[in-house]
Each structure stands twice: as structure tokens, then as C-alpha cells.
């Protein structure tokens, strides 16, 4: 197995994301995870919006996050995503939020693929599945 692809996106803290404690409210990191997931998805060569248009929804089944330091308004953080685990009907992503190299938050989300029509769990079509494997760092044998 190769290493999974890691891809980072800069997120500039929004004033609206702070709370009266003076730091970013903890629920917003979950939204930032999603921003990083969207960003990583582009490594497949498709925007996640296109995957939805083709009839597949990536339903969230679990999330977790650990908070070490808070981000502040006026700061820009780096949110990195990678695929941690991939199976036929789902995927688990892992995330790191850093501020100039300092680790602020780590987390993970777990998902299943849903057929938009039926609302049932499904497998991805071959081309998207192959793209996911590549992003996950899973070496694929030549089909011959």
C-alpha cells in the first residue's frame, strides 16, 4: 500500500465562527473538515458536487474531534485531509487543523455511499471507486 494523498486547504477564520469564549466555536471545525474533504476529493479529478450529480451521496455516519488549541479570528489555519480507510461501501477520512505548524485539532469522519434515488447504501461506479482508491493510496493491479 502506498501512502494516502494528503491535501491541505487554507481556512481564514471568520468572525461569525468565533463564540463568546473568543475562539472558534468547536462545531465549526466539523465544517472545516468538510471543506478539506471537498478539497481532497478534487484529487479524483471530480468535484464532489459532480459525484452528487451522478446520483451518489456521501452520508456521514460518524464524526470525532480532539481539540488542543483554539483558532482565533485574524488567523489562517491549514486543514489537511486524507483517506484513512476505504471499503466497498464507505470511507473514513482523517483531518488535522494546524496553525503554522502547531497542531490545533485532529478528527475523523466516517461515511457510507448512498444511492440518491433509493436512499440505500451502494457501491460507487468503477471510475469514481478507482479514483478513491488512488487517493487512499491503494495500489491497484493492472487489469489485464
**Active site members:** 19
For a second copy, what does the binding mask look like between residues 46 and 65, x meaning CB under 8 A?
A: -xxxx-x----x-xxxxxxx
Using the rule CB under 8 A, which residue among 5, 7, 8, 73 binds a second copy?
Answer: 73
Parallel, antiparallel, or unpaired for β 7-12 and 102-115?
Answer: unpaired
CA 58 to chain centre: 11
How far apart are the C-alpha atoms of 17 and 106, rounded to whole Å? 18
CA 84 to chain centre: 10
Q: Using the rule CB under 8 A, is 122 a contact of a second copy?
A: no
How far apart are the C-alpha atoms of 128 and 130, rounded to whole Å? 5
Q: Using the rule CB under 8 A, is 92 a contact of a second copy?
A: no
Which residues of this protein are in contact with a second copy, per CB under 8 A? 12, 14-16, 18-23, 25-28, 30-31, 34-35, 38, 47-50, 52, 57, 59-67, 72-74
Amino acid at each position: 500500500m502506498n501512502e494516502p494523498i494528503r491535501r491541505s486547504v487554507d481556512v481564514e477564520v471568520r468572525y461569525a465562527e468565533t463564540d463568546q469564549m473568543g475562539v472558534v466555536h468547536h462545531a465549526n471545525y466539523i465544517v472545516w473538515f468538510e471543506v478539506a474533504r471537498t478539497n481532497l476529493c478534487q484529487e479524483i479529478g471530480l468535484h464532489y458536487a459532480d459525484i452528487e450529480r451522478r446520483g451518489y451521496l456521501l452520508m456521514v455516519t460518524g464524526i470525532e474531534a480532539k481539540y488542543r488549541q483554539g483558532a482565533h479570528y485574524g488567523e489562517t489555519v491549514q486543514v489537511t485531509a486524507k483517506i484513512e480507510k476505504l471499503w466497498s461501501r464507505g470511507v473514513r477520512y482523517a483531518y488535522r487543523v494546524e496553525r503554522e505548524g502547531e497542531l490545533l485539532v485532529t478528527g475523523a469522519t466516517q461515511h457510507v455511499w448512498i444511492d440518491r434515488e433509493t436512499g440505500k447504501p451502494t457501491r460507487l461506479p468503477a471510475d469514481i471507486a478507482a479514483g478513491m482508491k488512488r487517493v487512499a493510496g491503494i495500489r491497484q493491479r493492472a487489469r489485464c
